[in-house]
Amino acid sequence: MTAPIAETTGTAKSISIRNFNKYYGGFHALKDLSIEVKAGEFLVLLGPSGCGKSTALRMIAGLESISSGALLIGDRDVTEVLPKYRDIAMVFQSYALYPHKTVAENIGFPLKVAKTPAAEMEAAVRAAADQVELGEHLDRFPGQLSGGQRQRVALARAIIRRPSVFLMDEPLSNLDAKLRGNMRAELKHMQGELGITTIYVTHDQIEAMTLAHRVAIMKDGVLQQLGTPKEVYSDPANLFVAGFMGSPPMNFVTGALANEVFTSGSIQFPLLSTPNTASATLGFRPEDCQITAPGTGFLDADVFTVEMTGDQVLVTLRMDGTPLVVKMPKEFEIEAGAKAGITLDPKHLYVFDTDTGARVRRG
């Protein structure tokens, strides 16, 4: 369930991204991107490397020019406004800390530039450091900190300005898996408490699902779908979104659909109220299917690997070279090389046009 957008601090503002285009010479990197972000919302830009998400973030920050389109923060058009006048704080993947400055000096640097009085700056640094649980490390240097602590310094430096907007470019990608999980929880809690509008870039769909109020999924510079994590997972708009969201990803079987029957090789499966599709892809998620005895399910396949993950067993099967993954209870046992069936619930099936990638809606 997606958390509601928190009450804002009063400084948080909406962001209106209107028909963003970005050209690098003849290369069209970002194509008519339009998104309305509510004040206090946590929006995640998600997609594979090269999809345009970081380019869009840098255009919002003013670090990249906007080839065409407009950007509004609140009611103010900032399309041509210099970065330092946009009231934005940005957190980078690389932390971007000054190695020769202490934690306190790094956190307080934006206030020093703004010539904030010393007593006021010291109190603000202490408050920001406490917010990210670094109050005991103010005299240390970045080289004396762990990766997670350095990222917290970068967050505190962003927090201290109380900007209208936070921009975060894959800030957790340099951390190990356990620390990433901890930092995700801290980030979500902090953003909820501060209520500052946040746009966060990642290629990690787990980060997107756990952090976002809404997710904008991108591919090749084009927005594919915008919705809550539940919406984009449960109701994908196309084949790309269906395959990108979920870990393990959705299973796909290609074939054809005619007269409400899906056919793929020896497979014939009824799909009532589904339009004819000459080149169809049937999709189903690993948690929406079950291992069954051969000859009793939707299809038969050979067990390729069996992985015990602790709370579940992931069974990967191969059918004519196509990998299919099934999530089973942790007590389940089967040997690699065995023949098995997969049974499906028709209510949890997705149909796509293989050629266009478009979702084929069932009546």
Range with lowest mean pLDDT among 61-75, 146-160, 340-354:
146-160
In the chain, the N- to C-terminal Cα span, in Å, equals: 27
Mean pLDDT, residues 233-238 taken together: 96
Mean pLDDT, residues 122-126 taken together: 93
DSSP 226-273: EE-HHHHHHS-SBHHHHHHSSSSPPEEEEEEEETTEEEETTEEEE-TT
Mean pLDDT, residues 275-299 taken together: 95
Task: Check whether 8 has a pLDDT greater than 70.
Answer: no
Nearest-10 Cα torsion for 326, 331, 335, 336: 40
User: If DSSP codes are grouped into helix, strand and coil, which group holds residue 130?
Assistant: helix
Looking at residue 131, its pLDDT comes to 81
> In this structure, what DSSP letter does residue 196 have?
-
Looking at residue 2, its pLDDT comes to 59
> For the chain, what is the mean pLDDT?
91
Mean pLDDT, residues 130-149 taken together: 89
Looking at residue 86, its pLDDT comes to 93
Whole-angstrom distance, CA of residue 362 vs CA of residue 316: 28
Q: What pLDDT, in 10s, does the model give residues 78-111?
A: 999 999 899 998 888 777 899 999 999 999 998 9
Mean pLDDT, residues 117-145 taken together: 91
Looking at residue 10, its pLDDT comes to 53
Looking at residue 91, its pLDDT comes to 85
Task: Check whether 173 has a pLDDT greater than 90.
Answer: no
Range with lowest mean pLDDT among 130-134, 234-238, 314-318:
130-134
Mean pLDDT, residues 31-56 taken together: 96
Task: Check whether 247 has a pLDDT greater than 60.
Answer: yes
Taken in order of first residue, the domains within the chain and their CATH numbers are 15-239 (3.40.50.300), 248-353 (2.40.50.140)
Whole-angstrom distance, CA of residue 281 vs CA of residue 251: 10
- For residue 192, name the pLDDT band (cuts at 50, 70, 90): confident
- For residue 9, name the pLDDT band (cuts at 50, 70, 90): very low
Ramachandran region of residue 332, left (φ > 0), alpha (ψ -120 to 50) or beta?
A: beta
β-partners of residue 72 are: 16, 77
Question: What are the tokens at 318?
Answer: 């191969």
**Which carries the bigger pLDDT value, residue 50 or residue 179?**
50
**Which carries the bigger pLDDT value, residue 104 or residue 133?**
104
Helix (H) or strand (E) holding 135, with range, is none
Report pTM: 0.88
Mean pLDDT, residues 316-343 taken together: 95
Query: Phi and psi at residue 158, in whole multiples of 5°?
Result: -75, -40
CA distances from 27 to 21, 24, 59, 214, 218 (A): 11, 5, 16, 29, 17
Looking at residue 272, its pLDDT comes to 82
CB-CB contact of 32 with 71 (8 Å): no
Task: Check whether 324 has a pLDDT greater than 90.
Answer: yes
- Torsion sign over Cα 173, 230, 330, 314: negative
- Torsion sign over Cα 318, 323, 325, 326: negative
β-partners of residue 146 are: none
b (16+ CB within 10 A) / e for 35-54: bebbbbbbbbbbbeeebbbb
Task: Check whether 336 has a pLDDT greater than 50.
Answer: yes
Looking at residue 179, its pLDDT comes to 74
Question: What are the tokens at 202?
Answer: 């990642």
Burial (CB count <10 Å: 0-12, 13-18, 19+), residue 211: buried
Whole-angstrom distance, CA of residue 357 vs CA of residue 229: 20
